Amino acid sequence: MQISQRHTELPSTLYFPVRPANFPNTRLIYRNTAWAKRLKMQSVLQTDQDWENRFGRFQPFDEGQAEPLALCYHGHQFGVYNPDLGDGRGFLYAQCVDPVSGRLLDFGTKGSGQTPFSRTADGRLTLKGAVRELLATEMLDALGVNTSKTFAILETGEQLTRHDEPSPTRSAVLTRLSHGHIRIGSFQRLLYLKDHTTLETLVRYALSVYYQVEDADFMPVAEAAERLLILVAENMARLVASWLAAGFVHGVLNTDNFNISGESFDYGPWRFLAVMDPGFTAAYFDHQSRYCYGRQPEATFWALCRLADCFVPFLTVEHLQKLVGRYHDVLESEVVAAACRRLGVDHGWDQASAMVAAFMAGLRSGQMKYDEACFDWYGGSARDAADKGKRKSLYQASGFAEAADLLRSAPPAKNSHPDAAYFAKDDPVHLRIEQVEAIWAPIAAEDDWSELTASLRAIHEMAEAYALRDEPASGLLLDHPV
């Protein structure tokens, strides 16, 4: 395992050393054995106790940072600027280098205790919240979304009071693996403080570490800021396109929830679509539907513009306005490409854009379930499930006629697998809210984890059929949590 301390190279004003909570118990619930193997962590994670020491007690790694770091940031929350933010129930525990890609990876936590940014909160995470984040990361990873990975979950033996779920409720601490821990809000804080020197340092760090631009430290700061903004714009466009294709609603697209690497993370009130409804809203507290399914591209672009604001000390406003246009240049083609990947259709087909538009319009005209429709039509002309399956009558409706005609003619993607065993099933894997609650119910009632274990296995089968990720499938839930 190649441990790193890259973040400590940044000015210490960007973080606070903190101590983890002293939990009354640490019960290992989930471990990501596939990623542990890829990172060559076998020597430090040999036993269950090793996992508990590292990810329940946060014992430092040899040659790693001595203490966890709570990172400083600001952010716009539902459009309102908030300078009173930062890692309030999490921290950067450690960093390492991926031996396969050479990229830096962060171990970040959720529910690990209070920090200087906790305000009046307890710094804890509910066990249900941890299970929900595990499900979100596994499902999105399987569908080809650039997402953080859930690395470990431990139940911590505390009883928490929450207003949005039955209380008292069980507690947990989660460790996620991600390509970076710097947010748009990290840059906003430095602009707010008028600390342009550290802002320049952070621009170069992000360009070098997250985008592996080798000469980032030597180019003029204006050039570095320009290149970073373009790269972030492209990655954010790809990210939101993949959300739309997955039928996913993140729920809280505040600027402190956008990772500068363009990787999706921090899953709270997320939901997956049932039917195609642009106004579908995930967060019960999003009263204006600011972050509903259909507004996610707009919300993402708004966040990108707030990042561009941070570069005013280095570039003119007029030039920044042109640079953020890169987002829209990329978004249109990425939406088509992502939808085609979900449908197993060649996105280079000259009718691909028309097919995607007709498919989405057709879904809005009827009551077809989104996941089922993507499943039934997977492979385009290479598969006839939509015409022979139990939902065929839905696809015969006049409002879906154009989409059906195009899909029957659509050439399958070269790397699609419409003959995979997964696609021979009657129904697809889905994580709509009723399914998530059904997975949680036996855990809450009887400490029965079999539904979650079965769901993870089904998601992994789906991931193998889609073959959209080039990274390892995660480990399974322990069959018998200890």
Does residue 180 or residue 21 have the better pLDDT?
Answer: 21
Residues 189, 323 share a domain: yes
Residue 43 in any domain: the answer is yes
Rounded distance between C-alpha atoms, residue 68 and residue 109, angstroms:
10
| Confidence bin at 304 (pLDDT 50/70/90) | very high
pLDDT at 479: 42
Rounded distance between C-alpha atoms, residue 161 and residue 291, angstroms:
27
pLDDT at 477: 53
Range of the domain at 401: 345-415
pLDDT at 299: 98
Exposure on the CB side of residue 481, measured as CA atoms within 13 A: 22
| Confidence bin at 181 (pLDDT 50/70/90) | confident
Residue 24 in any domain: the answer is yes
| Confidence bin at 164 (pLDDT 50/70/90) | confident
Q: What residue ranges in 38-139 does DSSP mark as E strands?
A: 69-71, 75-77, 80-82, 92-97, 104-110, 125-126
Residues 256, 149 share a domain: no
pLDDT at 480: 42
Compute how many other C-beta atoms are within 10 angstroms of the C-beta atom of residue 426.
10
pLDDT at 367: 81
> Is residue 476 over pLDDT 80?
no
What backbone torsions phi and psi does residue 93 show, to the nearest 5 degrees?
-85, -45
Cβ atoms of residues 72 and 86 within 8 Å: yes
- If you average pLDDT over residues 104-122, what whole number do you get? 96
What are the pLDDT digits (tens) for 239-298?
A: 999 999 999 999 999 999 999 999 999 999 999 999 999 999 999 999 999 999 999 999
- If you average pLDDT over residues 72-81, what whole number do you get? 97
Residues 393, 304 share a domain: no
Residues 449, 402 share a domain: no
Closest residue by Cα to residue 266 from 184, 335, 326: 184
Residues 104, 68 share a domain: yes
Cβ atoms of residues 229 and 320 within 8 Å: yes
Residue 421 in any domain: the answer is no
> Is residue 8 over pLDDT 70?
yes
Residues 134, 161 share a domain: yes
* Percent of the chain whose pLDDT exceeds 70: 97
Residues 296, 230 share a domain: yes
Residues 179, 149 share a domain: yes
- Residue ending a domain, among 340, 367, 382, is 340
Residues 117, 69 share a domain: yes
- Residue ending a domain, among 314, 340, 366, is 340
Residue 481 in any domain: the answer is no
> Is residue 481 over pLDDT 50?
no
> Which value, to the nearest 10 degrees, does the dihedral of the CA atoms of residues 341, 345, 350, 353 take?
-50
Tell me: cis bond preceding 418? Omega within 30 of 0 counts.
no
256, 266, 371, 376: the active-site residue: 256
pLDDT at 473: 57
pLDDT at 219: 96
What are the pLDDT digits (tens) for 352-387?
A: 999 999 999 999 998 899 999 999 999 999 998 999
- Residue ending a domain, among 340, 370, 403, is 340
Cβ atoms of residues 174 and 152 within 8 Å: yes
pLDDT at 482: 36
Residues 259, 391 share a domain: no
Q: Which pTM does this prediction carry? A: 0.95
> Is residue 162 over pLDDT 60?
yes
What backbone torsions phi and psi does residue 157 show, to the nearest 5 degrees?
80, 15
Cβ atoms of residues 147 and 102 within 8 Å: no
Among this protein's residues, is 256 annotated catalytic? yes
What are the pLDDT digits (tens) for 188-214?
A: 999 999 999 999 999 999 999 999 999
What's the number of domains the chain is made of?
3
Residues 376, 229 share a domain: no
Residues 356, 238 share a domain: no
- 15 beta partners: 71
